[in-house]
Structure 1
Amino acid sequence: MRRAVEYFSAHGFGVGTRELAKHIGVAQPLLFHYFGSKDKLVERVYREVFFYRWNPEWEELLIDASKPLDERLIIYLEDYTRTILSNDWIRLMVFAALDDPSLNKHYISLLHERIFKPVLREIRASKKMPPEPTEIDLELFWGFHSSFFYMGVRQWIYRMEVPDDLTRLIRAHVHNFLFGFHQTLAAGLTCPSEV
């Protein structure tokens, strides 16, 4: 599986099975014997890289109100960022989006339901607001959260340097987001407009 991940992350999911089998070091018929089809192999690679690396402890941490929210977000993002800032994770996420966006939709849904919404509900409840996040709340959190993915894009797609001190950067991002988001909520800017 590691060699398939390596090959797809270098060349994308559009490669032929003959080249893939050669890289893995097996005959093409053997590849079909074990996986049935290229699509099933792609799904297996996707599960291996994204869902097997998903840490359920992130979800538990983020709803643990015994610690301040900023502390929980920092701990979560330090671990999450270490998980995603790898060549295979970033490149396969981009290739999957270009090749078949349905592959990424399940992962993005997981982020929305198990990470974004619980955090936003807690923030809204702390402001005595209805707990269900608005569309704008979700967009603001999406922008904040995706900045860590974008560091990986800079590193593994654009081949640019990223900051060495991720902990300090994450702390700054978290404090910036929470301060700005609290101000945005106080100003009523995420509320649905009255027509």
Structure 2
Amino acid sequence: MRREDREKLIVSEAVRFFAECGFEGQTRELAKRMGISHAVIYRHFESKDALIERVYDQVYVKRWNPEWEPLVLDRSRSLKARLTQFYIEYAGRVFDYDWVRIFVSSGLKSYGLTERYLDIIRTKIIQPAALELRFEIDPDAVPCPPSEEEQELFWGLHGAVFYIAIRKYVYGEPVEINIETAVRNTVTTFFNGIENAAPNR
């Protein structure tokens, strides 16, 4: 097997291994599962941390769609319509056994991957959405960074959508629902609450 192909295979197997065992899983056990010697892994990756970094790139970075950023800022559509589209597409990318379990495991074991990913969500989705909501409510509002309270509203929305995946892939609940419908309902409920809180909008 070519070196490049072997490296891709190790990463692919590591994704599923860490999803099942968490990051405390040992690379020796991963090698055993793959039917290769432990040393083979370290011919391709200088350390377990280096392998975890490649897993992060494979599972998180490569699934991020850069078109989501301009979508949130597209004022030709309502913010509700933009976020509905975003979360439907986002769920399609991340509602996945490996993605969800590695995300949770990383947060529990302080590998820093979760923090890095949440920073992407914060800067590319949460903060822009908070500013767009402010603009929809009051186009003449003085521009300034979104407050923690404004951002927390959208973290609540994000968490509500993501909790569907948590229930299914972490808690093992039989979530037999139409994900797109559930996302639409969640976003609609969020904006109904915003409208009730700002009756003059």
Q: Same fold (TM over 0.5)?
A: yes
| Runs of 5+ unmatched residues, structure 2 | 1-10
Correspondence 1:35 to 2:45: yes
AA partner of residue 143 (structure 1): G
The answer to whether the aligner puts 1:110 opposite 2:120 as a matched pair is: yes
Q: Partners of 1:163 and 1:56 in 2: how far apart?
A: 30
Q: Describe the SS at the equivalent of 1:120.
A: helix
Match of 1:193 in 2: none
Aligned match of 1:77 in 77, 87, 96?
Answer: 87
- Give the match for residue 191 of structure 1: none
| Offset at residue 65 of structure 1 (A) | 1.4
2-structure distance, mates of 1:148, 1:24: 35
Is residue 61 of structure 1 aligned with residue 74 of structure 2?
Answer: no
Report deviation, 1:163.
4.5
Q: Structure 1 counterpart of 2:85, which letter?
A: I
Which residue of structure 2 aligns with residue 166 of structure 1?
A: 179
Q: Give the match for residue 147 of structure 1.
A: 160
Q: Which digits, 9 at most, give the CA deviation of each residue in 1:30-50, with x for residues without a partner? A: 111101001100111011101
* Distance in 1, Cα, partners of 2:53 & 2:164: 25
Distance 2:190 2:124 in 1: 19
- 1:94 alignment partner in structure 2: 104
Which SS does the other structure have where 1:56 is aligned?
coil
Where structure 1 has 5 or more consecutive residues not aligned to the other structure, the ranges are 188-195
- Are 1:124 and 1:130, in contact at CA under 8 Å, matched by a contact in 2? no
Q: Is the 8 A contact 2:69 2:124 kept in 1?
A: yes
Is the 1:85–1:152 contact (alpha carbons within 8 Å) kept by the matching residues of 2? yes
TM-score by length of 1: 0.89
Higher mean displacement: 93-102 or 178-187? 178-187
- The CA distance in 2 between the partners of 1:181 and 1:157, in whole Å, is 30
Matched residue SS, 1:55: coil
**C-alpha distance in 2, partners of 1:116/1:133?**
9
Distance 2:111 2:154 in 1: 21
Change (3 A) 1:182 1:120: farther
The equivalent residue for 1:192 is none
Seq. identity, %: 35
Give the corresponding residue for 2:15.
Answer: 5
User: What is the deviation of 1:185?
Assistant: 5.1
Match of 2:146, SS state, is coil
Q: Contact (CA 8 Å) 1:4, 1:24: kept in 2 or not?
A: no
Match of residue 179 from structure 1? 192
Runs ≥4 in structure 1, deviation > 3 angstroms?
A: 182-187
CA distance in 2, matches of 1:26, 1:55: 34
